[in-house]
């Protein structure tokens, strides 16, 4: 692994995490921790359903374009690229889907 792969992977990871957070944040998520709202599940109960995550999830998909390019087109075989792709995919799933599914329990 070269220093270029490491640097570009690190920058891609940081940029992707910021973009995912920007796209997945709720309108009134800053209410968490104030009053009776302790977590995201309480927030979903107390506010009206003006959730725009279904549109924003498509705006966050370009985060995976560098991985598609590196793995499928360039055929790079660096473990670091696979690791970062796995971390970004896991965080993307958590922010958009998994944390809301835990509210059903």
- Tell me which residue has tokens 């003006």: 50
- Percent helix, strand and coil across the chain, each rounded to 5? 75, 0, 25
Report residue 48's pLDDT band, with 50, 70 and 90 as the boundaries.
low
**pTM exceeds cut of 0.85:** no
Mean pLDDT, rounded, for 70-91 = 90
| pLDDT given for residue 76 in this prediction | 79
**Residue 8 contacts residue 79 (beta carbons within 8 Å):** no
């Amino acid at each position: 692994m070269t220093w270029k792969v490491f640097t570009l992977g690190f920058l891609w990871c940081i940029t992707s995490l910021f973009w995912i957070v920007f796209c997945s944040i709720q309108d009134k998520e800053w209410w968490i921790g104030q009053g009776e709202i302790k977590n995201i599940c309480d927030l979903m109960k107390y506010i009206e359903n003006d959730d725009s995550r279904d549109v924003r999830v498509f705006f966050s998909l370009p985060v995976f374009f560098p991985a598609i390019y590196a793995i499928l087109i360039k055929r790079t075989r660096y473990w670091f690229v696979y690791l970062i792709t796995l971390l970004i995919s896991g965080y993307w799933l958590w922010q958009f889907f998994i944390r809301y599914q835990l509210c059903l329990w």
